[in-house]
Every structure is written in C-alpha cells, then in structure tokens.
C-alpha cells in the first residue's frame, strides 16, 4: 500500500494502486540471478525518510515477486543504500541523477550505489564554489561500464580522480529496495512515463574523452581547484563523521 510521509512524523496510507497500473516482473531479458526479493520493510523506509527529511515522498514496498524493473506506472525503484552513509543521496533526488540515467538510456536502479556516491561528492564540491554540475560535465569527469549482472558502474576518470578514501564496495547494497512516486517531492525533475525502468545492458550513449583533455582552457585550473575543494568545509560537513565513507585524514584539514 502506498504511504506518504508528512512533517510531524505523519505517515498516511494511500489507496491501493489500481491493477492496470501494475507491471509484471516476468519480462524477457530481465532475469538477473543476483536480484532477489527486497528486504526493505515499511519501518526501514520510514526510518530512512525521517533521517533524510523526505517530506512528501510517497513510497511502496515491492511484493515478494516484484523486482527493481517492475515498479507500478508512475513509480521508480531506488535502493535504501543510495541514501545511507555510504552514498548520502537526498530527497528530492537531484536532477543530475535522472538526467544522467535518461542520457544513458538506463534505469536508475541499474547503477551501483558507488556511482551515485561519486555524483553526490561532485555536486557538493561544485555547490560550494557556486557551480551547477551539468550532466555533460559529469560525463567528462567520469566513465561508465556495464557489468555482467546487469548493473552499471560509474567511476572517475584516472586523470581526474579527485575523490579518494571511500570504500569500493558496500556489502549487500542492493538487497533493500523500494518504489518512490515520480513527483516533485521525490525528484527535482520527476521522470515521466517514458523514463526507462527495464534494465538496459546496451548503453545508450558513449562519450569519447578528448585526446588533449587536460589542455582545454580552464581544465587544468578546474582540476587543481577540485583537489583543493575535496578538502573543503562543505564536503567535510556533509560526509565526515563516524561511519562515513569520507571519514579519512585525506579529507580533513
């Protein structure tokens, strides 16, 4: 049953989703052995929304047969680990996330949580120096690869790896997932009905790195600035703390 979170610790149960809006998980090409039924519960998602102040977010716990690629019409699938301390994504989910997934013709739920950890770190760094991180800039700084289990991995390009000291893997990160309604409370740029939900192993876009990338005007100074800003106050305030992936001397003054 869909549930909406309101200020004042109020969780309102909404009407059951109409049968015609449900999707079957049994879709050709979507049988991934590494994906099991969700371990998310109403209580675990409620706790997450309280911690992330996800006011207005409507969520739904998948049934035992539902999978990340079968949310009801008007919903998207996300993992609890996207919002926990290893990644720290927030609500409403930033436009960069939906724009990048759309640009790659991929489902949001295909991406390893470490992929959005990189996006979060870069967005926080950019915000402190009053820069809006565009999807094109994000593509220039990162690369993406398709894994054998249907998942996608975003990594920093070696010459621009300004983010260090974070874990490479989060144990069982994809075991707990839930559906969120595509509205302004959950997304800065709510996905429409054409937004991909099925996992796609054929990346919809490839971006070749310029052969002389480091010599493009402004690139070198930007790179040096990024190294400096990695130690910045805003990034520290957002990530540093017990259990944080950025609780490392490298990120501290």
SS3 breakdown of the chain: % helix, strand, coil, rounded to 5?
Answer: 30, 15, 55
d(CA 115, CA 97): 10
Helix or strand run (H / E) with residue 35: none
DSSP letter assigned to residue 21: G
Residue 106's pLDDT band, with cuts at 50, 70 and 90, is very high
Q: Which of 233, 202, 20 is nearest to 129 (CA)?
A: 233
What are the pLDDT digits (tens) for 154-192? 999 988 776 665 555 677 899 999 999 999 999 999 999
The confidence score (pLDDT) of residue 237 equals 53
Q: How many CB atoms lie within 10 A of CB 206?
A: 9
Full residue range of the structural domain in which residue 121 is found: 3-251
Residue 104's pLDDT band, with cuts at 50, 70 and 90, is very high
On the question of pLDDT at 85 being above 90, the answer is: no
d(CA 140, CA 137): 5
Predicted model pTM:
0.80
SS3 category, 12: strand
What are the pLDDT digits (tens) for 45-75? 999 999 999 999 999 999 999 999 999 999 9
Q: Are 197 and 140 in contact (CB under 8 A)?
A: no
Q: Can you list the positions of beta strands (E) in 101-191?
A: 142-146, 152-156, 177-181
User: Structurally, how many domains does the chain consist of?
Assistant: 1
């Amino acid at each position: 049953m869909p549930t909406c979170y309101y200020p004042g610790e109020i969780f309102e149960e909404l009407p059951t989703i109409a049968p015609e809006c449900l999707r079957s998980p049994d879709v050709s090409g979507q049988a991934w052995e590494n994906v099991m039924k969700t371990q998310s519960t109403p209580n675990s998602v409620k706790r997450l929304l309280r911690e992330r102040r996800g006011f207005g977010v409507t969520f739904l716990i998948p049934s035992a047969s539902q999978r990340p690629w079968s949310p009801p019409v008007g919903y998207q699938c996300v993992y609890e680990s996207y919002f926990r301390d290893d990644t720290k994504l927030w609500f409403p989910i930033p436009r960069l996330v939906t724009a990048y997934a759309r640009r790659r013709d991929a489902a949001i739920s295909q991406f390893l949580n470490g992929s959005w950890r990189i996006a979060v770190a870069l967005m926080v760094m950019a915000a402190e120096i009053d820069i809006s991180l565009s999807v094109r800039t994000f593509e220039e700084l990162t690369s993406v690869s398709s894994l054998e289990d249907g998942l996608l991995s975003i990594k920093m390009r070696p010459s621009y790896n300004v983010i260090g000291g974070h874990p490479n893997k989060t144990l069982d990160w994809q075991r707990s997932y839930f559906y969120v309604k595509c509205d302004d409370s959950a997304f800065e740029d709510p996905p429409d009905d054409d937004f991909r939900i099925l996992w796609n192993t054929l990346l919809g876009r490839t971006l070749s790195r310029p052969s002389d990338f480091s010599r493009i005007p402004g690139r070198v100074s930007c790179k040096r600035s990024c190294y400096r800003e990695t130690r910045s106050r805003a990034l520290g305030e957002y990530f540093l703390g017990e259990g944080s992936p950025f609780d490392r001397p490298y990120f501290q003054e």
